[in-house]
């Protein structure tokens, strides 16, 4: 079963449920512990990325295997964690930006500290992901 998700990571993302194998491939709308890249130039957004994560969570059962665009294979708990981290990051960074903190101040505030050890070691630096979220809030 094929589903279009738009806009999320980009302006056109997809997920595929291989029903016979009960495997869900979420592409770049799921990163199992690396921070996702949000491609604003291609129509992506933090809110769209969160929306896709929420849609993924709604589709995946406790027995289903999830294939992320980046990271290791996961299960429903991994999708829930990914969604929770995205929402947490958006809310923290938004709360810091709203009163006028600069990007440098938000990065210095270690707004992502709770998940830095597990999530901040991927193809992009954690500060780069904070900058992407900062741009979108």
Quote the pLDDT of residue 2.
53
- Provide the pLDDT confidence category of residue 113 given band limits of 50, 70 and 90: confident
Mean pLDDT over the full length of the chain: 84
pLDDT tens track for 38-86: 889 988 899 998 988 888 888 888 888 888 877 788 888 888 888 898 9
- Provide the pLDDT confidence category of residue 4 given band limits of 50, 70 and 90: low
The total of structural domains in the chain comes to 1
Which residue, chain included where needed, has tokens 């947490």?
Answer: 88
Helix (DSSP H) and strand (DSSP E) numbers for the chain: 5, 4
Q: What is the pTM of this model?
A: 0.86
Strand partners, 66: 24, 74
Give the CATH number, domain containing residue 84: 3.60.15.10
**Residue 30: which domain range?**
2-136
């Amino acid at each position: 079963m094929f589903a279009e998700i738009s806009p999320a990571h980009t302006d056109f993302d997809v997920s595929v449920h291989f029903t016979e194998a009960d495997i869900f491939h979420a592409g770049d709308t799921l990163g199992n512990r690396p921070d996702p890249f949000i491609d604003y130039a291609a129509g992506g957004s933090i809110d769209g990325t969160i929306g896709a994560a929420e849609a993924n969570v709604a589709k995946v059962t406790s027995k289903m295997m999830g294939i992320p665009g980046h990271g290791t294979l996961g299960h429903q708990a991994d999708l829930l964690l990914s969604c929770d981290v995205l929402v947490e990051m958006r809310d923290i960074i938004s709360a810091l930006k709203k009163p006028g903190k600069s990007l440098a101040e938000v990065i210095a505030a270690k707004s992502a500290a709770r998940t830095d050890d597990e999530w901040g070691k991927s193809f992009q630096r954690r500060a780069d992901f904070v900058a992407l979220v900062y741009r979108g809030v």
